[in-house]
Amino acid sequence: MLVNFPQVEFAIYPAVIHIHHMTPIQIEQQAQAISATLQSLSPSTSFRVNLRLLEYCNTRFSEKQVKRIDENFHDYSFGTRFRLRQPPQNPPRRLRYLIEKFFSGDVSGDIGEALFAYFLMSVMNLTSSQIGHTRPVKRRGYLTPDFVVWDSSRRLASVLQKSNYRLPLLAEVKAFTGLIDPARIAHGLAQLQMAIANSTLIGLLFLVVRNEQRQGYDVYLVRMER
């Protein structure tokens, strides 16, 4: 029986970001500030991840066709990189053999999306029909976020720190197994800037970041309003 459930820590970025009049430079600065602050935030809660259910979330909510996210989640959390075989001969001059595999951005992205769905269902108690993955429409050039969340019972009130909010909630998910890249955070902010323009909708940036010290993933929620 599975007894070792990975633990994920969850923190809320304290400030609500008002994105309305932000210029590209200001968005970049904001992304830098988020990136610099994240790992000093103290977690507001933590949750155990049932890997079987995470795999279910992966098959139902992630964009890329990656299987066995449960096993990948385990390896990526620990930072386990597989070693490759090397020939006994030295490599030709100026060349080096590949000795360790690299983490895949697609797998990392899948972990992020599956974890977002897992968080909404297992921690916030939403049902799967309240979560819409709008990525296919986004790929075709329409303006949509990664996810639309129809939280009709206002179960996210505690994390949004608001009791009343307009639906749907629009979310972008970014995952980092290596270093946090502020440029990718800026892209997430920019996408939400467009998606919530001219409205009172709330944008959520869900950041999934591997914590080297803890050998596990931490998740951060950044709230955005116009």
Partner 1 sequence: MEYDLAFVMSAINEVNESVWLGDYKKAIETADINLETAKRLELIGFEKTANEIRGIIKQVRKEAKQEKIKNRRLWVAGKVSKTIEEKQLDPVKNLFGAMLIHLRDLREAIAYLLESKSQTTMESYGDKIPQEGDSLQRTDRYRYSIQRFPDRWEVRAILDIGVLQWNVGKLREELPGYGFSIEEVLKERPSRTFELYSQEMYAQIIGQDNQVGISIYTPDTPDARQRVRKIIETILKTLGQ
Name the residues that contact partner 1, by CB under 8 A: 1-2, 5, 20, 22-24, 27-28, 48, 50, 52-53, 56, 59-60, 121-122, 125-132, 134, 136-137, 141-144, 148, 150, 152, 166-168, 170, 186-187, 190-191, 193-199, 201
Q: Are 76 and 54 in contact (CB under 8 A)?
A: no
How far apart are alpha carbons 107 and 138 in whole angstroms? 20
CA pseudo-torsion sign 154, 155, 158, 159: negative
Q: Are 216 and 8 in contact (CB under 8 A)?
A: yes
Nearer to partner 1 by C-beta: 115 or 201? 201
Q: Supply the minimum distance, in Å, between the C-beta of residue 142 and partner 1.
A: 4
Nearer to partner 1 by C-beta: 16 or 53? 53
Which residue type occupies 210? R
Nearer to partner 1 by C-beta: 21 or 96? 21
Q: Supply the minimum distance, in Å, between the C-beta of residue 196 and partner 1.
A: 6
How far apart are alpha carbons 220 and 39 in whole angstroms? 9
Q: How far apart are the first and last CA of the chain?
A: 47
Nearer to partner 1 by C-beta: 56 or 76? 56
Q: What is the token pair recorded at 142?
A: 């329409």
Q: Supply the minimum distance, in Å, between the C-beta of residue 218 and partner 1.
A: 20
